[in-house]
Amino acid sequence: MPRIRQQNVTAAQWSPNGETLGKLDLASGDYPFGENVFSPAVQKERLSAETYAKLQNVLAKGEPLDPSLADEVAEAMKEWALEKGATHFTHMFQPLTGLTAEKHDSFFAPTGEGKAIAKFKGSELIQGEPDASSFPTGGIRATFEARGYTAWDPTSPAFIMENPNGALLVIPTAFASWTGEALDAKIPLLRSMDALSRSAIRALRLLGDNEAQRVFTTVGPEQEYFLIDKHYYYERPDLVTAGRTLFGAKPPKGHELDDHYFGSIPERVLACMLEAELEMAKLGIPVKTRHNEVAPAQYEIAPVFENSNVASDHNQILMQVLQNVARKYDLVCLLHEKPFAGVNGSGKHNNWSMGTDTGVNLLDPGDTPAENTSFLFFCAAVIQGVNKHQGLLRASVANIGQDHRLGANEAPPAIISIFLGHELERVFEAIESGEGDPHTPGSFLELGAEVLPPLPRHGGDRNRTSPFAFTGNKFEFRALGSSMSLAFPNTVLNTIVAEAIDELADRLEEKLGAGADVATAVAEVVKESYAANKQICFMGDNYSSEWHAEAERRGLKNLRTTPDALPEVISEQTIETFGKYNVLSERELHSRFEVWTEQYTIRANIEAETTESIARTMILPAAMRHLALCEQAGVTKAAGEARTLIDQLIEAIGELEAANVYPAGVEGLELAKYARDNQLAAMAKVREAADRLEKVVADDLWPLPKYSEVLFIK
């Protein structure tokens, strides 16, 4: 179909429906937050006092669930769901695809009298048995074996997912094999949260805290995404198949003017956001922030912090809601890490912290971090854990989309480093050296206008180029990709910090046993740990080429691509640490390595074959039509230019075709490396020739919507 401007006019048109306008009155308290969640408030209304109290102990203290509660909870949950219009229930789980999965079962069963009755037993609530035969397992089970189990996770509340034609009760669950091994993202995350809690409570006892009974890790993910008109999406086979544009010349205007960032949100986009946020509110997702991001057509949404497990579940739901609601506005939500070459890609900043069940944030330095022994201890543990397991942390955010984003001047490099901020760095440096004043006096920014109040100045500016930055009372792990689940990166963070806490606690215990007071012992432990791990701390520009050389001098790892990074998942160090804390066994780690390696290869092959198809069947014919026009018009110079570019394209297509034939006997990691070094390299040559043709071929002949249309027509 030839490209004509009328399609752009069509894409730019929309009609606001105003369905929710005026329905919400925050002053009257009718905001529907959590109205579709089987929340503690709902549980308190519908459960006996004894059952409610026991269930809350499970949620608050991590106590094991008493199966005898299940029937009463299931009955209350069913009645509540039926009142909400639900006819079916599902155990939602997170297999190793990185997505969510669900199988729907009806509440209703025939009575034998031509009628049906709604049933939902405790046994159905606690355990489901979906067919596991087609989910990736990495060799944990044979392909002919089908049994898999879902186990109810009571710490992540059930909810109602509404549909125009009904509703569904969704029960977050874990997913395990018949052998009891984890086939999902949730089980390792829950195990890691338990591991960190045990280690942190042990350390708190040494530090004099006898009140806290449990430590939770919390996450607040900043989700970036693109919204484009559906007309352009369906006219781009690469977007449909691969989630990113495999072709597209750089437009005259990108985001050089920074005019999109934090700008006024386009009306259609804002309408879409408002409805999506309303749906998220019903599901209990505490959305706080929305804004335009740097790239044209790119946006961000961020929630309030929740515990890591609930935050991970909510982020999966949030991505699904964004995609579903966007369709109602003739938009498509793109979650690929790099959907458009030459403009910023999308990440998911993972703001991570630790807090006690008594309300203490263990990473809050307070007004005087140098005197906050607990903070210094736990902060030193984070630094030590990240340094020791920097390769694994990098591997936790590795996928094929990330390879297009990490390392560019828009995202952190593949080198893991920590930004502490100048105030905190001064504290640690003074503790290590024993010299200088670790205290930094507070100061204020005077803005030069009497009507504006003086603003308190933070101890250090933020560093947006750092992959792992301290930002006040948390660490911001900025390297996650926008399409990724939060689960594995946070599983890694929890586990490596748990190990570091135990290692520091061992030293602290020794010094306390030798008669040192707590403050002195902590100072000595922090001094030793920081001196041994300070090479991971970097305050400068992570985008600079000088940093790469400096990082190499420091001995830091630079794992540039996914095939470089994934072996860290099965390194001896990873296997030892994850085994020691019962987070993932060696077999479970190897399964993930095999699954993620295979997924990289499969996605590379899909992209490569799609590139070859589009180039051969769409771009090449358009270029030849343009050449024929030039020759028919007798414009020799234009014809020569087109012919040269067509010859380059044909040659590149031939190289890609050859690269798409896998060599015999190559598999696993070696096949992933082949795909990276051959298929992706050949794709780049095809794209280079095609993108040059895009700037030459007559506009009405070019078969794909251009960046100047897709990104800028709202």
C-alpha torsion sign, points 179, 484, 579, 379: negative
Q: In sequence order, which residues have a C-beta less than 8 Å from that of residue 64 and are 6 or more positions away?
A: 58
Three-state secondary-structure class, residue 358: coil
**pLDDT score of 124:** 84
Three-state secondary-structure class, residue 411: coil
- Give the pair of three-digit tokens for residue 157: 């509340």
- Beta strand pairing status for 418-419 and 468-470? parallel
**pLDDT score of 24:** 54
Q: What is the pLDDT of residues 136-157, one digit of tens each?
A: 777 776 666 667 888 889 889 9
Q: How far, in Å, CA of 40 to CA of 59, rounded?
A: 10
* 654 close to 582: Cβ distance less than 8 angstroms: no
| Amino acid at position 548, single letter | H
148 forms beta bridges with 177
Three-state secondary-structure class, residue 158: coil
The residues of the chain scoring below 50 in pLDDT are 1, 26, 28, 444-445, 447, 452, 455
Q: How far, in Å, CA of 703 to CA of 67, rounded?
A: 60
* 156 close to 309: Cβ distance less than 8 angstroms: yes
**pLDDT score of 19:** 57
* 295 close to 465: Cβ distance less than 8 angstroms: no
Q: What is the pLDDT of residues 160-180, one digit of tens each?
A: 999 989 999 999 999 988 888
Q: How far, in Å, CA of 262 to CA of 293, rounded?
A: 6
Q: How far, in Å, CA of 559 to CA of 398, rounded?
A: 10
* Residue 312 Cα distances to 93, 99, 305, 335, 422, angstroms: 12, 11, 11, 16, 31
**pLDDT score of 112:** 66
Side-chain half-sphere CA neighbours of 593 within 13 A: 22
- Give the pair of three-digit tokens for residue 571: 């390194």
For 363, other C-beta atoms within 10 Å of its C-beta total 20
DSSP of 42-81, one letter per residue?
HHHHHS-HHHHHHHHHHHHH-PPP-GGGHHHHHHHHHHHH
The structure tokens 């739901």 sit at 317
**pLDDT score of 475:** 95
Ramachandran bin of 344, using left for φ above 0, alpha for ψ from -120 to 50, beta for the remaining angles: beta
Domains of the chain: 32-184 (3.10.20.70), 597-710 (1.20.120.1560)
**pLDDT score of 126:** 84
